[in-house]
């Protein structure tokens, strides 16, 4: 009886060892992304901007590259809820746009605005794995409170930003990371403006540091030749530049595109209008933990 029981125990132990061996072997698969087969089936994680229009831009970029399909009618206000087909089971991490470069190392990929990429020493042309086309719908604009767009000071600033000097500066400095959308650059001056009457005056502008405040330095030089002072106040968020223009604290701002402005006005009851589009900053898809687009699939 004891002998029979011992044989049964030995047999059961061997069965357990055999099953464990099979489980160990089947769990050792790998994927092209360097993770397990399970992690591959879970899909990659892509961090995207959490503000309404830039989030939509990120999703439209992924759709353009064939990774997702959005529902019919989903456009410049699309969110992950508007995804119709997600064949690669991509997971989305919604992050404040300015923080995307900081979280890049913690996610598989991130879609980042060019201004924040440049601040983080990323070259949108050389470092991105995919980049948005230069759609004029997302041209960065000079904006003012409604009713001020026809004042001579604003017209003088508009003309300076639409100059050939500014267009050349954008082309040479950013090498495709920022693209001028001014069709017919001028000498920087508006013939309808009485510049002598503006001599000694100051115009204030709220701007993000890169590239807007940098571009404004060229406009500042143009205006200085007419004894007009351009004072630039830098902001690193997307809210205060509109608030200070709405309140009248600052004359104009230069940091956003029209779809964002339209949504901001709708959500906040503000009355800010576009004066002119100056440049576009293509959105780019950057590798974080993963360095190749092949890993998405």
Token pair for residue 195?
């510049």
Residue 25 has pLDDT above 60, yes or no: no
Residue 41: the pLDDT is: 54
- Residue 76: alpha-carbon gap to chain centroid: 13
Nearest Cα neighbor of 104 from 162, 46, 62, 65 is 46
Burial class (CB in 10 A: 0-12, 13-18, 19+), 239: exposed
Does 187 or 36 have the greater pLDDT score? 187
Its pTM stands at 0.78
66 pLDDT above the threshold of 80: yes
pLDDT of amino acid 52? 85
pLDDT reading at 149 higher than 50: yes
Contact, 260 vs 51, CB < 8 A?
Answer: yes
Structure tokens belonging to residue 212: 């807007």
What would the pLDDT profile of 218-255 be if each residue is shown by its tens digit? Answer: 999 999 999 999 999 999 999 999 999 999 999 999 99
CATH number of 136-280: 3.40.190.10
Q: Where are the domains of the chain?
A: 37-133+284-296, 136-280
As a whole number, mean pLDDT of residues 76-99 equals 96
Tell me if 171 sits within 8 A of 270, measured CB to CB: no
Q: Provide the pLDDT confidence category of residue 297 given band limits of 50, 70 and 90.
A: confident
The structural architecture, per CATH, of the domain 37-133+284-296 is 3-Layer(aba) Sandwich (3.40)
> Is residue 125's pLDDT more than 90?
yes
Is a pLDDT exceeding 80 seen at residue 19? no
Give the mean model confidence (pLDDT) for residues 106-134. Answer: 94
Average pLDDT across the chain, whole number: 88
pLDDT at 7 over 70: no
Q: What tens digit of pLDDT does each residue of 197-221 get?
A: 999 999 999 999 999 999 999 999 9
Q: Cα dihedral angle (249, 192, 182, 115), rounded to 10 degrees?
A: -20
In which region does residue 47 sit, left (phi positive, over 0), alpha (psi from -120 to 50) or beta (all else)? beta
């Amino acid at each position: 009886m004891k002998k029979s029981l011992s044989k049964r125990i030995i047999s059961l132990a061997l069965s357990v060892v055999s099953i464990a061996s099979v489980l160990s072997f089947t769990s050792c698969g790998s994927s092209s992304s360097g993770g397990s087969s399970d992690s591959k089936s879970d899909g990659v994680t892509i961090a995207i901007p959490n503000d309404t229009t830039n989030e939509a831009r990120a999703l439209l970029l992924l759709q353009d590259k064939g990774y997702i399909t959005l529902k019919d009618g989903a456009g410049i206000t699309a969110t992950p809820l508007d995804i119709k087909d997600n064949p690669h089971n991509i997971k989305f991490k919604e992050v404040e746009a300015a923080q995307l470069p900081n979280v890049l190392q913690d996610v598989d990929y991130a879609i980042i605005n060019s201004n924040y990429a440049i601040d983080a020493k990323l070259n949108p042309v050389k470092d991105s794995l995919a980049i948005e086309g230069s759609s004029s719908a997302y041209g960065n604009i000079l904006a003012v409170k409604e009713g001020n767009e026809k004042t001579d000071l604003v017209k003088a600033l508009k003309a300076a930003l639409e100059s050939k000097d500014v267009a050349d500066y954008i082309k040479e400095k950013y090498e495709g990371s920022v693209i001028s959308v001014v069709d017919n650059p001028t000498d920087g001056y508006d013939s309808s403006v009485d510049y002598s009457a503006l001599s000694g005056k100051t115009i204030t502008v709220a701007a993000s540091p890169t590239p807007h405040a940098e571009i404004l330095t060229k406009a500042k030089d143009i205006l200085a030749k007419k004894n007009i002072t351009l004072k630039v106040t830098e902001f690193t968020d997307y809210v205060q530049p509109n608030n200070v223009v709405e309140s009248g604290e600052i004359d104009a701002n230069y940091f956003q595109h029209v779809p964002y402005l339209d949504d901001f006005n709708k959500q906040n009851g503000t009355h800010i209008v576009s004066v002119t589009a100056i440049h576009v900053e293509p959105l780019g898809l950057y590798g974080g933990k993963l360095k190749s687009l092949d890993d998405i699939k």
